[in-house]
Amino acid sequence: MPYAPGSPNQERVILAEIEVGHRIDNAPHSWTQDGATGAWWISHTHADKFGEHEGKPSRVKVNGVLFSEDTLANCRTTPSTWYWHVATNALYIHVAGGVDPGGGTFIVVAYLWRRFATRPYVFGGRPYLPLVGENSIPPVAYVTGGYHEGGTKQTFGAIKFLNGEGYFDTDLSDYIYEGKRLKTRIGLNGAADVDFAVFWDGWTGDISWTENEVEIAVEDLMTGVI
């Protein structure tokens, strides 16, 4: 049962996930051709403030088109595919014509999820950084009208993230946070993953930085296509 009420005194945990983008077609990134094939690879081992490697992308888009994850053998021969080499943390992609993805013709973006929570937490087997500010989650409004009135609309305000340790000082520059998918979940501390409920699914908007906190405005999912 998603987010059953339980005891009013039981601690709630709020999780916030942002699918940030990493542009990897331009300097300082450079690509190496995989032999004489159409695949090119790049070391994809950028680390965050706490030394966490970004690892396997959640998705890869080239010029706005979603590429398909595939085997290395297929990536070598098939355009519009990518492959993640887990042993070397290398990302292989095959763009149209099998040319260098960094040649200036393409905008290549690898996506990865940044995970935050109101307390240190593990959800779905993945750690969540305790950077969601206490009492920083605004109310959510999700409103529609009659069938003839149109205009379904969600509003959410902004989420504040703790920045006292400077996590976002470089991360906001290393990655693209604006206009990216943001999901929030709510559940009781220690509850099973399935008992957490998604209560917001939308896009990030404006971002304000201070030494102590970063505030990310949240936009309705219907401001963009999925």
Partner 1 sequence: MLKILIPKFKYWKSAPAGETSYPNLQDDAEGISIPEAYGVLKNITPICINTTTGKYKVARRAIKAIDAVRDNGRLMAPAEYTATAPELALGEFGILTTPLLTGGATYYLIIESDYGINGADYLKYWQDNHGHYGSFWYSIDSESGVPGNWTVQTNKNLEFTIHGRTAIDGANTLLVDARNWTGWGAGITLRDAGARTRVAQKFIMPAGGPWYLSKIRIWSGSPAGSPSSTRITKVQIVTVADPAATPAIEVPVGMKSEQVVNGYVDSSGWKVDQNPKWLMRAGGSNDLRVDIQGYMINPPGDTTLIEKVADVLYDVYVNLMGGSATGINVADLGTLRTDRVQDVVRYMTEEKEFQQALEVFEAGHLFKFLPSLAGDFAVKLLVSGEPAGTPHLTEAQVRNFTMRRVWSNVFQVAKIKYYLDSSTNDFLTAEEKSTIAQYLYNRQESIEIETALKDAVDATQLAKDYLGTGGGTRKVNLQYPTRIAEFDVLAGYGFDLIPTMKVKLTLPRADYAGGSLAGILFRILEVHKNPMDGSSHLVTVLDSLTY
The residues binding partner 1 (CB under 8 A) are 2-6, 8, 12, 14, 64, 66, 135, 137, 139-148, 150-152, 154, 183-184, 186, 197-202, 220-226
Of 50 and 147, nearer to partner 1 (C-beta) is 147
| Start-to-end Cα distance in the chain | 27
**Which candidate, 140, 208, 131, places its Cα nearest to that of 162?**
131
Could you tell me the smallest distance in angstroms from the CB atom of residue 115 to partner 1?
16
- Quick check: 198 and 184 in contact, CB under 8 A? yes
Give the C-alpha separation, 111 to 92, whole Å.
14
> Which residue bears the tokens 């014509």?
97
- Report the nearest approach of partner 1 to the CB of residue 189 (Å): 13
Residue 99 or 140: the one with the smaller Cβ distance to partner 1 is 140
Cβ proximity to partner 1, 12 vs 119, nearer residue = 12
- As measured in angstroms, the least distance from the Cβ of 82 to partner 1 is 16
Give the Cα-Cα-Cα angle 117, 154, 178 (nearest 5 degrees). Answer: 55
CA gap 88, 108 in Å, rounded: 20
| Residue 27 or 148 having the CB closest to partner 1 | 148
What is the maximal distance between C-alpha atoms in the chain? 63
How far apart are CB 130 and partner 1 at their closest, in Å? 16
Which C-beta is closer to partner 1: that of 7 or that of 173? 7
The span from the CA of 19 to the CA of 184, in Å, is 12
For the bound state, the minimum distance from the C-beta of residue 109 to partner 1, rounded and expressed in Å, comes to 15
